Amino acid sequence: MQSPTIIVAVVSMLLLPVAGSSAQGVNDAQIASIVVTANQVDIDAGKLAASRSTNGDVKGFARLMVTDHTGVNKSATDLAARLKVTPQDNPTSQSLKSEGDKNIATLKTLKGDAFDKAYVDHEVAYHQQVIDALDKTLIPGATNAELKALLVKVRPAFVAHLEHAKSLQSSLSKGH
Amino acid sequence: MRTATFAAALGLMLGMVGASVAAPSKAKAHTVTIEDMRFQPADLVVAPGDTVVWINKDLVAHTATSQVGGFDSNLILASDSWRYTVQKKKGDFAYICTLHPAMKGTLRVK
């Protein structure tokens, strides 16, 4: 009785990554959710920083994050609607959301230079993390050609943001 | 002498005709593609009267803004474009995207 159960378990484990998802373990609906959540998290942090920071460069960066990530999200949601893909919650999007919420909660306890440093440090780490996810999981995992093209297209903006955040990071550390 | 003068006069007339016909049609249309957070080509030689169209193929908005004066597109939204007719003043007009200042280009008006 034991061995058929084991075989069934093994077979279903083998089949799981194939049925409805790519070799990378995420399907297009999940990728759409990851993209939308990743952008939304950075829009929320940007809105907070644009209103709370007293540093002109940090405020400018924060406003740019709101503008750019809103633009990317519009393209992503438009495409998802056109492809009739409903973004599907998954462990990656959930952890992005909870990390984003945690970041906002931390930032709300800070002000002045400490706020700027925490916001910018997080932006550097966040953009690096998203670029890594694009390269290792999202772009290779996307099965729909248009979704894959959108992810490829969005990458240079994230790289530019990362460079921008790094240069802010170094100017903030020089200032103090 | 007469033949030579006649030939010279004819040559001059033909030259003038040629010049007057060629001048208005010489205005060229150029395209700068904004893609992957870059202006392509970043360096463009143009003449007064030429038109330049910046086409934004990125998912985020950009600008083409000359900080030495001359032109400013204001926001060029994703999938949108902006057309500029090159003015008389010659020289190199460096420009950037004011949102992403690492994006740089130059219009060389000759």
Which residues in chain A have Cβ-Cβ distances shorter than 8 Å to B40? none
- Give the mean model confidence (pLDDT) for residues B90-99: 95
- Give the mean model confidence (pLDDT) for residues B81-86: 97
| Angle of the A91-108 helix axis to the A112-133 helix axis, nearest 10 | 170
- Give the mean model confidence (pLDDT) for residues B89-101: 94
Write the residue in A64, A74, A157 that is nearest to B37 by C-beta.
A157
**Distinct helix (H) and strand (E) counts, chain B:** 1, 8
State the pLDDT at residue B94: 96
- Give the mean model confidence (pLDDT) for residues B62-81: 93
- ipTM of the modeled complex: 0.74
Q: What is the DSSP string of B21-67?
A: HHHHHT--EEEEEEETTEEESSEEEE-TT-EEEEEE-SSS-B--EET
Which residues in chain A have Cβ-Cβ distances shorter than 8 Å to B78? 71, 74-75
Q: What single letter denotes the amino acid at residue A7?
A: I
Please state, for a pLDDT cut of 90, what percent of chain A lies above it. Answer: 84
State the pLDDT at residue A30: 96
CA-CA distance, A102 to A89, in Å (whole number)?
19
- Indicate whether B4 pLDDT > 70: no
The alpha-carbon gap from B75 to the nearest alpha carbon of chain A, in Å, equals 11
Which residues in chain B have Cβ-Cβ distances shorter than 8 Å to A72? 59-60
B38-40, strands of its sheet edge to edge: B38-40, B29-35, B51-56, B81-85
Residues in chain A with pLDDT < 50? 1-24
**What are the residues of chain B with a beta carbon less than 8 Å away from any beta carbon of chain A?**
36-38, 58-61, 77-78, 99-100, 102-103
Predicted TM-score (pTM) of this structure: 0.78
State the pLDDT at residue A8: 42
- Indicate whether B97 pLDDT > 50: yes
Residue in A with minimal Cα distance to B100: A160
The alpha-carbon gap from B37 to the nearest alpha carbon of chain A, in Å, equals 6
A40: helix, strand or coil: helix
The alpha-carbon gap from A68 to the nearest alpha carbon of chain B, in Å, equals 5
pLDDT tens across B13-68, in order?
Answer: 444 444 444 445 589 999 999 999 999 999 999 999 999 999 999 999 999 999 88
CA–chain centroid gap for A138, Å, is 10
The alpha-carbon gap from A152 to the nearest alpha carbon of chain B, in Å, equals 9
Interface test with B, best of A68, A75, A127, A163 (most B CBs within 10 A): A68
Interface test with A, best of B36, B57, B60, B79 (most A CBs within 10 A): B60
Q: Copy the structure tokens of residue A84.
A: 């009739």
Query: Checking DSSP bridges between strand B29-35 and strand B65-66, what pairing results, if any?
Result: unpaired
- Give the mean model confidence (pLDDT) for residues B58-80: 93
CA-CA distance, B34 to B32, in Å (whole number)?
6
Instruction: Flag if B59 and A71 touch (Cβ within 8 Å).
Output: yes
Query: Which residue, A168, A136, A151, A150, is CA-closest to A65?
Result: A168
pLDDT tens across A101-120, in order?
Answer: 999 999 999 999 999 999 99
Residue A169 near chain B (CB below 8 Å): no
